[in-house]
Amino acid sequence: MAERGIWEFPLHPSLPIRMRSAKLSSALLTPIVVSPSPVSKSFLGMRQNQPFLKSLRCAWQGLFDLYFTQRNFRIHLVVMVCALTAACWLQFDPWQWGVLIQTIGLVLVAEGLNSAVETAVDICSPEIQPLARQAKDMAAGAVLIATFCSIVTGFCLFGPPLWALLLRE
């Protein structure tokens, strides 16, 4: 029976717990929860009570990292610019703008969360593991769902005015 190392999982900033896999039986890793252990917050990478401007600066840094490291995020931004340009050209009503902005936001947030999940999984599990792959695939699947929903919303928003323009000419 193989024994694995100990990982720290902060479930709550004030309550990190130790988890250790005890046995590897038929390719199933069984985690066992042991008593809480004191772990310094600096070890966990937690920042407490930052000034608002510093938090804002960290958020902007995250957006820059997302833009410069994630190709799919840049692709979504190009599609966003095209959709906003077409919406201006078609003179969308306010409700159409609202739906369009919410849909764009959904896709960009999903892509950002997917990237965050992938980065966290890479940090926690540098070796190839089936559960790590599954977590990454699930996050990518969420982006796919958001993208499909945005395509359907795009057909609903852009279809009727474009169809009317085609029939007029």
Catalytic residues: 111
The helix/strand/coil state of 7 is strand
Whether the Cβ atoms of residue 110 and residue 146 lie closer than 8 Å to each other: yes
Bridge partners, 19 (sequence order): 7, 33
Specify the DSSP element, H or E, that contains 22: strand 15-25
H-state helical runs in the chain: 52-69, 71-89, 94-124, 130-168
DSSP string, 134-161: HHHHHHHHHHHHHHHHHHHHHHHHHHHH
Residue of 39, 19, 22 whose CA lies nearest to 30:
22
Under DSSP, the state recorded for 28 is E
Under DSSP, the state recorded for 29 is E
